[in-house]
Amino acid sequence: MLNRSIAVVAASCVSCTVSAQSVTWEFLARQSTDVGVGGVTDAIWIPGAFNNGCIDDEGRVIVSNTIQLPDGSLTNANNRVLLRGVPGAMTLLARNGSAAPAGAPAGSVFNTSSGVNGITTTYSNSTSGYMVVGGSLNGPNIIHTAGPTQNNSALWLVGPDGTANLMGIVGMQAPGAAAGTYLTTNYSSTNLSTSSARVTDSGKMLWYSSTAGGDTVTSGATANNYGFWMLSTAGPSSAQLVFRRGQAAPGFSDGTYVSAMSSFSGYINDTTVVVTATFAGASTTTANDAAVLVSRNGVASTAVREGDAAYGISGATFTGTFTVNGRGVGADGKFLFTATIAGAGVTTADDLVFCVYDPAGGSRVLLREGDASAVWNGGTLSNINGTGLALTATNHVIFNAGILTGGTSSNVGVDLDLATNSITPIFRGGTQAAGLPDGVFYGTNYAGSSGPNINANGEIVVRMPLEGAVTSGVDDTALYAWSASTGVRLLLRTGSSEVTGFALKSFFPVGNAGQNGTGGSTGLSDTGWFVTNASDSNPKTPTGTDYMVLRARVFGGSPACAADLDGDGLVEGSDLGIMLGSWGSCSGCAADLDGDGLVEGSDLGIMLGSWGACP
């Protein structure tokens, strides 16, 4: 085993004490009550789960779903909408069949060549309020045939003020390539509808695309037919090449080149880009062909390569591929990775390592398979689960560890301080669930289904499966919040009717898929705003299930600023407008400041008494 000093810090969450629920849940969308959705007269939501919402530092939420009219006249050509806003003030940003934003070919609408399903749903926004809008285009000036004139999909960033900035369009000249080389990957592809579309606070996004034409070579030793580009709100002409297949491996002049990169292997945090790659050429063999590339402020380097000495483990080298997680990349060039090692004395029982790469020279192995610690309840470390992993701006690492104890596996969620190497346990699978009756336990192996939302501050909201004294499908899931300062707080539990008036059936935050471009979560903002979709057992609905999108200020909120309805730090005219728009019976509305189910004079009095800057 590698010797390292790891301090175990006691945490209140490991005992059964828990802070009381202290958040106010607000409806962004609710299928049983919303009418006139997206400004479309009489439009209602089609019953069914909402897409995962995203939220920024001001509490603005992105909601996407399909709508219908009472006469059923809407179709796939015009029934999907994309909204953004706060409770009582949701603004339509895009709709299938409606005009595309500025910069698109004249007459363009969001739809495919067959006239359906144009908008691509994403999990992408930044803490500052930039969000991705993209998809397929159709219209009189749209060319669907593949080639340099193809222009049937595009991508915009919509800024905090609602201004749409064209970032890229299929068929655009590939920056850094010979004239006539163009990008071919559509902005309606799976690349955009997954966690790979990460947006920075300055309005930039890393984009993977294939190329064609010009200097493109598709096979052989000179193949160069895809790469990663940085797009920005300044438009397609400002896009920059970051890494391209076939280029010389950064730092090598002996003919070693980049032979492969995965479309899902690129990660960004501010100006730092990390990509896993495969090398070829020169003296490259299968024993040293895996690598991790870093570009920081436009300067590229090879950070770690298969065959390199494993940090601090005598006689051991890295072998095989490296695994990097998007939330494990820091703005300062640090990144976390897992790898296997080989060498004298290394066995299959201790060949997995969890490492931090530091461009300042502080790279090291943090943990190794087989390590024993009091943190692991008398067991040993078996793996690191990537779905609950983040490198925070406070130089901490949040992750879920797989543990083996006497042949039995379980999960432990922890907070590791890189400065002191101390570990604070957060959740222990299979132990008493905080805030719930005796005999209700956290899921023993919860990590794979926990959907963690981790912001850049290291604050967490996690969907936790429960076991023990629970009824499957009724009350077997809870939502917990944790931070180093607050400990664990129980927020929601299925089966509870406290939030909506009916028993909750489910809640699904965006979880690991929601990663922004500054090391945080699109489901939990750095200011503590959290969003989740949910459902309950409302018997008044046609299906007996009501679907909704909820938000709450889980961290950092001030009760004195409950009247700051748009979350901008001020109680002012915009908040008054939201209140007036919610006037009357409005149970669960943010504007119902006294919680009596009505927005009326008493609430207006509270708002006027809070007028001005929030404390």
Per-residue model confidence (pLDDT) at position 558: 57
| Residue numbers of the chain with a pLDDT score lower than 70 | 1-22, 189-196, 557-560, 567, 587-589, 595, 615
Domain boundary among 503, 526, 553: 553
Residue 323 located in a structural domain: yes
Question: Do 462 and 601 belong together in one domain?
Answer: no
Question: Do 477 and 574 belong together in one domain?
Answer: no
Residue 141 located in a structural domain: no
Question: Do 348 and 449 belong together in one domain?
Answer: no
Beta strands at 164-169 and 422-428: parallel, antiparallel or unpaired: unpaired
Question: Do 464 and 481 belong together in one domain?
Answer: yes
Residue 259: exposure state from Cβ atoms within 10 A (0-12, 13-18, ≥19): middle
Question: Do 406 and 523 belong together in one domain?
Answer: yes
Residue 392 located in a structural domain: yes
Is residue 306 a contact partner of residue 290, using CB atoms and an 8 Å limit? Answer: yes
* Domain assignment of residue 267, given as a range: 256-369
**How far apart, in Å, do the first and last CA atoms of the chain sit?**
51
Question: Do 422 and 296 belong together in one domain?
Answer: no
- Kindly write down the DSSP assignment for every residue of 509-571, as one continuous string: --GGG-B-TTSSBSSB-TTSEEEEEEEE--TTSTTS-EEEEEEEE-SS--GGGTT-TT-SSEE
Contacts of residue 487, Cβ cutoff 8 Å, sequence gap at least 6: 11, 12, 13, 17, 18, 19
User: Helices 573-581 & 601-609, crossing angle to 10 degrees?
Assistant: 170
Per-residue model confidence (pLDDT) at position 120: 82
The secondary element (H helix, E strand) that includes residue 589 is none
Residue 255, token pair as written in the block: 């003919």
| Among 81, 144, 69, 137, residue whose Cα is nearest residue 109 | 137
Is residue 272 a contact partner of residue 332, using CB atoms and an 8 Å limit? Answer: yes
The secondary element (H helix, E strand) that includes residue 578 is helix 573-581
Other beta carbons less than 10 A from residue 122's beta carbon: 29
The secondary element (H helix, E strand) that includes residue 366 is strand 364-368
Residue 275 located in a structural domain: yes
Taking CA 562 as the corner, what is the angle to CA 559 and CA 563, rounded to the nearest 5 degrees? 145
Tens of pLDDT, residue by residue over 382-420, are 999 877 789 999 999 999 999 999 889 999 999 999 999
Residue 164 located in a structural domain: no
Question: Do 392 and 422 belong together in one domain?
Answer: yes
Residue 9, token pair as written in the block: 């810090």
Domain count, the chain: 3
Question: Do 585 and 609 belong together in one domain?
Answer: yes
Is residue 215 a contact partner of residue 241, using CB atoms and an 8 Å limit? Answer: no
Residue 546, token pair as written in the block: 């009501």
Beta partners for residue 383, in sequence order: 402
Domain boundary among 326, 350, 369: 369
Is residue 300 a contact partner of residue 291, using CB atoms and an 8 Å limit? Answer: no
Chain CA centroid to CA 428, Å: 24
Per-residue model confidence (pLDDT) at position 341: 98
Tens of pLDDT, residue by residue over 476-505, are 999 999 999 889 999 999 999 999 999 999
Residue 305 located in a structural domain: yes
Per-residue model confidence (pLDDT) at position 238: 87
Q: Cα separation of 266 and 268, whole Å? A: 7
Where residue 582 sits, what CATH number does that domain have?
1.10.1330.10
Per-residue model confidence (pLDDT) at position 593: 79
Question: Do 319 and 420 belong together in one domain?
Answer: no
Question: Do 513 and 417 belong together in one domain?
Answer: yes
| pTM (two decimals) | 0.86
Residue 473 located in a structural domain: yes
Per-residue model confidence (pLDDT) at position 181: 96
Question: Do 300 and 417 belong together in one domain?
Answer: no
Domain boundary among 553, 578, 599: 553
Residue 501 located in a structural domain: yes
Question: Do 411 and 488 belong together in one domain?
Answer: yes
